[in-house]
Structure 1
Amino acid sequence: MAGLMHLTPQRNAARVLRSGVAARSRGRGVYCMAVLPSFTLTHQWVRELRRWHPGVLAAVHIKIPDDEMVLVGHYNAEPQHVTAARAIGIIRDVADPRGYEIFVPRAITPAEVRHVRQVPQGLGWRYQPNAHGTRPCSCCIQRGTPAAGRDRRRYPYDPPRPTKPQLMAKLQVAQTAEEIIDVLWDLGARSRGDAEKLAYLVDHPDEEVREVLYEVLSSYRGQLARDLRVKLSESIPTHQ
């Protein structure tokens, strides 16, 4: 079975698990990306898609038959019509997989949806692959697994993640909502304490900052984190 990843607004997560994914992407079906050894490259389209889909995006992991025909190619080139397994191989083999995409020319059934997961909202590029650097995350290339060293050398897009003190320092100087959101997702993937240091963002004027904070606090421990989520739910329309 071929492993693919589709991005959708977080608010659609329950519906996707219940009903699958409709084929609506640019008349070509369901937009997907190959699941690669690099977490960053797998989710490289997050920043770009957030320009067109405001709010928090979630990753839908799906499995389809290896021999099913799909479209694959760089976003600014004519796609190839190949099997799903071959499409993944093409993306894995190119020197720079950024900008590649796969389209499944039909709806994805609920049985083909494996899970829906949260994903850091600062991953990837915007406008074009070379316009911005990629976000760091190496959690999908585990040390000690077969070929892990080779994969880390092959995918230089995943530098070491910043420490929590570095992230808190970055949060203190963050000026825009996007900068705050990027740091919040990185914090949510690390330490599970010190929710009080994020409490000042509960009343942030940007709704997306509050929505991301609500999601990130779900990974924090303690009564304060739960209380902050209750307060946030009262100001986020999708959680009311």
Structure 2
Amino acid sequence: MTLFVHLTAAKKVRSVRRAGIRARSRNHDGLPGVFCLPILPSYQLTHQWARELKRGGRRTVMVAVDFRVPDDEPVFVGYFSGGHERLPSAEAAALIAGCEDPRGYEVFIPRAITAKEVHRVRGVNQVTGWRYMPNAHGRFPCPCPGCVPRGQYGGAKIRQAAEVRGY
């Protein structure tokens, strides 16, 4: 059984313990399921999505839900902005663990996670991870309306700096 972690809002803890994790997210093909990562030796790499999820609008306290899936269950694995390939869960975990830089990788399980599969629910450090994308430090953020919507904190400054730079 492969151990994965899913990050969610702390207000959903009772629901997760009672009914598991619902398949609310959609992958690039529109399939419903659950995004997660395998538990890795590095805490920061295991919980790398926490900061990016908070930046994307989740303002509540996050928790980590650890759960197990069978080793031979097919999942989708890949870099967040690239294509995903279908592999057994054990191979997907080994692929991410074997990467030199696993930041930005994700696993997508195309089904809901039952309450019996949940191993534990625990608190998670709220400032762990990257923002925008891995290795974004020192790079100017994209000023397009899709990346920096109107009303976003600091958005006007980013758009103004882009005009000065000629973007």
Whether TM exceeds 0.5 here: the answer is yes
Residue number in structure 2 paired with 1:79: 84
CA distance in 2, matches of 1:10, 1:130: 28
Residue number in structure 2 paired with 1:63: 68
Residue number in structure 2 paired with 1:10: 10
Does structure 1 residue 46 correspond to structure 2 residue 67?
Answer: no
Q: Kindly state the Cα deviation for residue 31 of structure 1 after the two structures are TM-superposed.
A: 0.5
Q: Kindly state the Cα deviation for residue 25 of structure 1 after the two structures are TM-superposed.
A: 1.3
CA distance in 1, matches of 2:102, 2:91: 14
Q: Equivalent residue of 2:92, what SS?
A: helix
The amino acid that maps onto 2:22 is: A
Residue number in structure 1 paired with 2:36: 32
Map 1:143-154 to 2 at 5 A.
none
Task: Give CA deviations for 1:173-224 in whole Å, capped at 9, x if unaligned.
Answer: xxxxxxxxxxxxxxxxxxxxxxxxxxxxxxxxxxxxxxxxxxxxxxxxxxxx
CA distance in 2, matches of 1:57, 1:20: 16
Map 1:49-128 to 2 at 5 A.
49-52=53-56, 53-128=58-133
Higher helix share: 1
Structure 1 residue runs of 5 or longer lacking an equivalent are 134-240
Structure 2 residue runs of 5 or longer lacking an equivalent are 139-167
Segments ≥4 residues shifted beyond 6 Å: none
CA distance in 2, matches of 1:49, 1:86: 26
CA distance in 2, matches of 1:14, 1:132: 37
Alignment root-mean-square deviation, CA: 1.2
Counting matched residue pairs gives: 133
Q: Kindly state the Cα deviation for residue 131 of structure 1 after the two structures are TM-superposed.
A: 2.1
Identical-residue share of aligned pairs (%) = 50
CA distance in 1, matches of 2:124, 2:63: 6
CA distance in 2, matches of 1:93, 1:20: 29
Higher strand share: 2
Q: Kindly state the Cα deviation for residue 37 of structure 1 after the two structures are TM-superposed.
A: 0.5
Task: Give CA deviations for 1:66-121 in whole Å, capped at 9, x if unaligned.
Answer: 00000000001100100000000110111100000001100000000011100010
The amino acid that maps onto 1:3 is: L
Residue number in structure 2 paired with 1:142: none
CA distance in 1, matches of 2:74, 2:24: 17
Q: Kindly state the Cα deviation for residue 132 of structure 1 after the two structures are TM-superposed.
A: 4.3
Q: State the TM-score, normalizing by the size of structure 2.
A: 0.77
